[in-house]
Structure 1
Amino acid sequence: MAQIFTASADTRLRASLLAVFLCMFLIVLVVGGYADSSYGTLVGWVQDQSVPFSHEHHVAGLGIDCRYCHTSVETSARAGLPATHTCMSCHSQIWTGAAMLAPVRHSLAADVPLHWNRVSRLPDYVYFNHSIHITRGVPCVTCHGRVDQMPLMTRAEPFQMQWCLNCHRNPGPNLRPPAEVTRMDWSDWDAHPDLHKDFGELVVKTYGIEPAKLTQCNICHR
């Protein structure tokens, strides 16, 4: 009887299957590594803007509250971006000739809105409502980081699904007094979590927050 396969055929088959397995493993490793890297999450990256706005100067230096520029954050799904007249309420009187503010002056004169590139942008298939988080006591710093220490705005958190779910599964420890949500420094709370544990549990009970419902798909994907 003629031999159909050579003596090395089995070895070549095993080597081929091993090569395919290794390729698939490397692909998963590369894709997963990219997704968690700063290249994938954009954490720490600066977005180019029409005007180099410094949160550090305006928030920490001048003490301007987040809600002065992000006017709809308490009442709308979107926080809102500052209109030109908001900027000019100050800059029509100070730094009126600054070169870096030329786009703001042109925007006002031409009645054309300034274009801001979103730093903390979520995918279109994710629904996020700022107002419900703010009114329940999730402080701005939880998602946006210490903007009072950012000369140029960068993304502070990855905004990955797992990151959001970690909070939704146990929201209590992340809740603060709603009247102080724009406060940046919560080091006193973070240093003594046991002292403030009851507060989070009380807020969860008062507002009827149900973690089991917060992890349902239709909460964020509508």
Structure 2
Amino acid sequence: MAQIFRKSGDTFLRLGLAALIGIPLIAAMLGMVLVRSEYVTGQDRTPTQPVPFSHAHHTAEIGIDCRYCHIGVETSARAGIPPTSTCMTCHSQLWTEADMLAPVRETYVSGARLEWAPVNTLPDYVYFDHSIHVAKGVACTTCHGPVGDMKLMRQHAPLTMGWCLDCHRAPGPNLSPRAALFSPIPAETATADIAALLAEYHVSDSGLTDCSVCHR
């Protein structure tokens, strides 16, 4: 009886079956790596701004409090972007002719809004409230990084669901003393202080990982 298939056909069949199973698995693994990569999360991304505003200079060097510009951080979900008039309280007297500050002066005169590029953004289906995090002892630098060292603001954290859940499962190490909440330099919290901070801010990990906490 004549042989219909060559002997190599069996090898090709085995390779085909292996590819049928292996390629989707490899694709899924690569997809998981990709969605966690800086390319997708934006971690360490430094967006181009209309004015090269230096957090390092304004906070760590000359001592402006975060709340002077981000006035909503203690009372609302959004920290807020300062209006041009806030910038001009200083720059109507200082660096009044600097070319880099031309957009500030122009928008102040015209009344137009200075369009800053968002540095940290979350999807619309994620609910995040700055005020409750600050009230519960989460310092600005916990999420935004050492802003006192940033000449140009960058996205410090990956802002992934896993990153948020890591903190919600064990919030203690991410809390700071009240005096350090608005410091531009991260505070070091000793292990012995964690229990005291949890008690002071009345923080419990119970219910912090419920879906409705972040998805409403």
Q: Which runs of 5+ in 1 are unaligned?
A: none
So what's the TM-score if we normalise by structure 2? 0.91
So what's the TM-score if we normalise by structure 1? 0.89
Q: Which runs of 5+ in 2 are unaligned?
A: none
Which position in structure 2 is the counterpart of 1:156? 156
Percent identity reads 48
In 2, the alpha carbon distance for the partners of 1:124 and 1:83 equals: 24
**Is 1:177 aligned to 2:208, yes or no?**
no
In 2, the alpha carbon distance for the partners of 1:2 and 1:82 equals: 84
In 1, the alpha carbon distance for the partners of 2:211 and 2:116 equals: 30
2:205 partner letter:
P
Which position in structure 1 is the counterpart of 2:38? 38
In 2, the alpha carbon distance for the partners of 1:29 and 1:79 equals: 37
Contact kept, 8 Å, 2:104 with 2:114, in 1: the verdict is yes
Which position in structure 1 is the counterpart of 2:200? 203
Q: CA deviation at 1:3?
A: 7.4
In 1, the alpha carbon distance for the partners of 2:91 and 2:76 equals: 27
Q: CA deviation at 1:2?
A: 8.7
Contact kept, 8 Å, 1:72 with 1:79, in 2: the verdict is yes
Q: CA deviation at 1:32?
A: 2.2
Instruction: List per-residue Cα deviations over 1:33-72 (Å, max 9, x = no partner).
Output: 2222221222212101111100011011111111110000
Which position in structure 2 is the counterpart of 1:126? 126
**Is 1:215 aligned to 2:212, yes or no?**
no
Choose between structure 1 and 2: higher helix proportion. 1
In 1, the alpha carbon distance for the partners of 2:184 and 2:110 equals: 36
1:123 partner letter:
P
In 1, the alpha carbon distance for the partners of 2:188 and 2:125 equals: 36
For these two proteins, the number of residue pairs brought into alignment is 216
Instruction: List per-residue Cα deviations over 1:66-119 (Å, max 9, x = no partner).
Output: 111000000000000011000000000000111111111111111001111111
Contact kept, 8 Å, 1:167 with 1:174, in 2: the verdict is yes
